[in-house]
Amino acid sequence: MTATSPPHALHAAGIPSVDLQDFLTGTPEQRAAFVRELGQAYEEVGFVAVRNHGLSEAQTDALYRSVQAFFGQDFAAKSAYEVPGAAGQRGYTRFGQEHAKGRLEGDLKEFFQVGQEVSPQHKMNGAYPPNVAVQNPADFNSITMQAYRTLEACGQHMLRAIALYLDLPEHYFHDWVDGGTSILRAIHYGPITSDPGDAVRAAEHEDINLITLLMGASAEGLEILSKAGVWVPVTALPDQIVVNVGDMLQRLSNHRLKSTTHRVVNPPRERWSEPRYSIPFFLHPQPDMPLDALPSCVPPGTTPLDPPITAGEYLDERLREIGLKK
């Protein structure tokens, strides 16, 4: 797909593709079309491919180089960046620590998480643990935070369009996600050296957060579960990122917007020796945001599908379910 593809063009996996500039700088008609197509994609598929997202090719390449250099170190060097009691929300997490909800087998991955940093004047100052300072590679912290800010800004633009689709004020989400608990996660799925049995790189799951922004991974493996119950491979094209609905947004929309089940499968045996790197950005609101279903998404005479809960309570519940928090 080229940059001149029409906004309604379909990705090879059936994921609609949209151009964020249509929303940011387009005509009123282009903005309205973007909102409509985005909302329909999130109702029908839960995923959308986005062009002109703000993350440059040079920035992406530098990010992957730094991430691969970090994970290329020996375990002793990486484990020095583990943070006991952080539930995987800062620093390094070793292989097999996280598993999908309802699964016992640990996923075949290690990861490093970079979290929110706010100014001393921000109301959330002091609410979050500090990020872990990485010594090698020397550019790791600056490059990952630059990507964090770029994807955070893109996600905030996407939420403006989502708000309009849900008949909310355009900036409804802003105060909740400004200084939210968003996470940039650098993931290394290592070479498979022996029969993994039932373990896979990432078992089927839904994301916890509002939306997830995912740049192209270094190898194939991501699959989404279609409405027909069929696993469909997904690969972000070079000029696009994939943005999907998480469980928090599904709850807010009373399941009108779909948090789609997805997984990362193991490669064919002849490619077990190939590692895979992926860097998703999980956009979270501030912990006290209520996830009660929006009144506009609850049909008259019905009750919300989920009970009331805050974003912080829900995150805590899910981190326990996936084995990162005791």
Look at residue 11 in the predicted model and tell me its pLDDT: 43
| Residues 5-12: contacts with CB under 8 Å, at least 24 apart | 7/33, 7/34, 7/37, 8/37, 11/49, 11/234, 11/237, 11/240, 12/235
Look at residue 101 in the predicted model and tell me its pLDDT: 64
HSE-CB at 284 with a 13 A cutoff on CA atoms is 25
Which tokens sit at 32?
A: 């309205």
Q: Count each helix (H run) and each strand (E run) in the chain, helices first.
A: 8, 13
With cut-offs at 50, 70 and 90, classify the pLDDT of residue 247. Answer: very high
Residue type, 282: F
Residues of the chain with pLDDT > 70, as a percent, come to 89
* pLDDT surpasses 80 at 216: no
Look at residue 37 in the predicted model and tell me its pLDDT: 97
pTM beyond 0.75: yes
307-317 pLDDT tens trace: 999 999 999 99
| 318 Cβ contact list (under 8 Å, min separation 6) | 101, 208, 247
* pLDDT surpasses 60 at 4: no
| Residues 86-91: contacts with CB under 8 Å, at least 24 apart | 86/129, 87/319, 87/324, 87/325, 88/113, 88/319, 88/324, 89/113, 89/115, 89/129, 89/181, 89/183, 89/319, 89/324, 90/114, 90/115, 90/129, 90/130, 90/131, 90/132, 91/131, 91/132
Q: How many angstroms separate the CA atoms of 293 and 302, rounded?
A: 12
pLDDT mean over 3-28: 70
Domains of the chain with bracketed CATH? 17-321 (2.60.120.330)
Look at residue 324 in the predicted model and tell me its pLDDT: 74
Q: Indicate the DSSP class of residue 128.
A: S
* pLDDT surpasses 60 at 219: no
Q: How many angstroms separate the CA atoms of 16 and 21, rounded?
A: 16
Minimum mean pLDDT range among 83-97, 116-130, 143-157 = 83-97
With cut-offs at 50, 70 and 90, classify the pLDDT of residue 98. Answer: low
Look at residue 85 in the predicted model and tell me its pLDDT: 84
Whole-angstrom CA distances from 112 to 91, 131, 243 are 5, 10, 20
Contact between 30 and 18 under an 8 Å Cβ cutoff? The reply is no
* pLDDT surpasses 90 at 248: yes
Query: What is the overall mean pLDDT for the chain?
Result: 88
